[in-house]
Amino acid sequence: MRRDDRDDPFDDFFAELERMMNDMMSGEFDMHVERRDPEAPGQSTGIHFDVYEEDDQLRVVADLPGVEKDAIDLKCDGEQLTIDAAGTQREYHDRVDLPARVDEHTADASYNNGILEVSFETSGHSADIDLS
């Protein structure tokens, strides 16, 4: 089957796309790919997460697609939540700085369809200290 190009509204678009590809490939093409070290401090391996504060609760919701529930390891020291998980396609290692101090012993976690939810009760405010 032969295509009728006479009235194709995408002719200009494809011509410009072809010109850009030719320009990119014809000259000196230098591409740099940087790999990040997952063990280096402050570097994330791509976990998308959201943190919600509601009254005396703090909730962290993280996307971990392709991971089995048994392959997730969570740790919390009251100020940071550490998420380590391994799937068939990739591994996740990340630390989430929590916006408020939490009581890590109140943690409640669930995992469903690639979505991890971890809830904590926030710790009370710092004690007032009287200066005598």
Residue 113 within any structural domain of the chain: yes
Residue 4: inside a domain: no
Q: How far apart are CA 97 and CA 94, in angstroms?
A: 10
In order along its 132 residues, the chain shows pLDDT tens digits of 455 556 667 777 877 877 777 777 665 544 433 444 545 544 445 788 899 988 889 999 999 988 999 999 999 998 999 999 998 888 889 999 998 899 889 999 999 999 999 999 988 655 555 665
Number of domains making up the chain: 1
Structural domain boundaries enclosing 65 = 48-122
Q: Which helix (H) or strand (E) holds 63?
A: strand 57-63
Is 73 contained in some domain? yes
Report how far residue 67's alpha carbon sits from residue 96's, in angstroms, rounded to the nearest whole number.
19
Residue 106 falls within a domain, yes or no?
yes
Residues 53 and 32: their CA atoms lie apart, in Å, by: 40
Query: CATH number of the domain that 117 lies in?
Result: 2.60.40.790
Contacts of residue 48, defined as CB under 8 A and 6 or more positions apart, other chains included, come to 62, 63
The whole-angstrom separation of Cα 48 and Cα 27 is 37
Q: Is residue 35, in this structure, part of any structural domain at all?
A: no
Q: Is residue 114 part of a domain?
A: yes
Residue 74 lies in a domain: yes
